[in-house]
Amino acid sequence: MTRARIAVLVSGGGRSLENLAERIRAGELDAELALVLSSTATALALERARRLDIPALTVDPKAFATPADFSAAAWAAIEDARVDLVVLAGFLRLLLVPEAWRGRVLNIHPSLLPRFGGKGFYGERVHRAVIAAGERESGCTVHYVTNEYDKGDVLVQRRVPVLPGDDEHALGARVFEEERIALPEAISLHLRRRSAHST
């Protein structure tokens, strides 16, 4: 069976992209990174993609009149790359998912959804909100993407304690260590389920 081809959509540093590449190299994830698509030309993830020899491009939402137009351009690039699965890894734009792609787009979010999810909740904002709310636990969630922020079915959650004295950086670092495990785990789970359904 051919290895699943994955497009990784990014807006920032690309730590999750690097993690996926490491897992694939180590034989822990049976997939191929076929495309990196960034919503900004200055994303450090594009540098990582070049170093990892993964085809990369930018689709700038500012160049489009509506989110639908932006999404259409992104999907055209994704489909050109002939990918099987799309992974949003720190992608900070609403991507409208066509019906044909429902159930084949994953997102990783740095909280235990449904708490601290939705529009405006991303990155350190999430960790600050968790601390401000007095939560004793946080974590990360990998879920299927729908046309609403952070609303799709959950595949994997991993938990961490919120410790006394945590700031957003300390909590964020602890959560990211779990993201490094959760995202490859969720991709593998998705691919196993897909394989089971196709046999």
Q: What is the pLDDT of residues 131-173, one digit of tens each?
A: 999 999 999 999 999 998 888 999 999 999 999 999 999 999 9
Which pLDDT tens digit goes with each residue over 12-49? 999 999 999 999 999 999 999 999 999 999 999 999 99
> Which CATH number applies to 1-96: 3.30.750.24, 3.40.50.170, 3.40.50.2300, 1.10.260.40?
3.40.50.170
- Tokens representing 81 are 């790359």
Domain positions in the chain = 1-96, 109-140+158-199
Q: What is the pLDDT of residue 181?
A: 97
Where does 109-140+158-199 sit in CATH, by number?
3.40.50.170
Per-residue pLDDT band at 119 (split at 50, 70, 90): confident
Q: Which of these is catalytic: 109, 127, 143, 190?
A: 109
Q: What is the pTM of this model?
A: 0.94
> Is the pLDDT score of 53 beyond 80?
yes
Is there a contact between 138 and 111 (Cβ–Cβ < 8 Å)? yes
Residue 152, SS3?
coil
> Is the pLDDT score of 199 beyond 80?
no
Token pair 């299927």: residue: 144
Sign of CA dihedral 32, 117, 48, 55: positive
Alpha carbons 30 and 10: distance in angstroms, whole number: 21
Instruction: Annotate 48-69 with b (16+ C-beta within 10 A) or e (fewer).
Output: bbeebebebebbebeeeeeeee
Per-residue pLDDT band at 194 (split at 50, 70, 90): confident
> Is the pLDDT score of 197 beyond 80?
no
Q: What percent of the chain has a predicted confidence (pLDDT) above 90?
A: 88
- Establish whether 143 is a catalytic residue: no
Question: CATH topology of 1-96 equal to that of 109-140+158-199?
Answer: yes
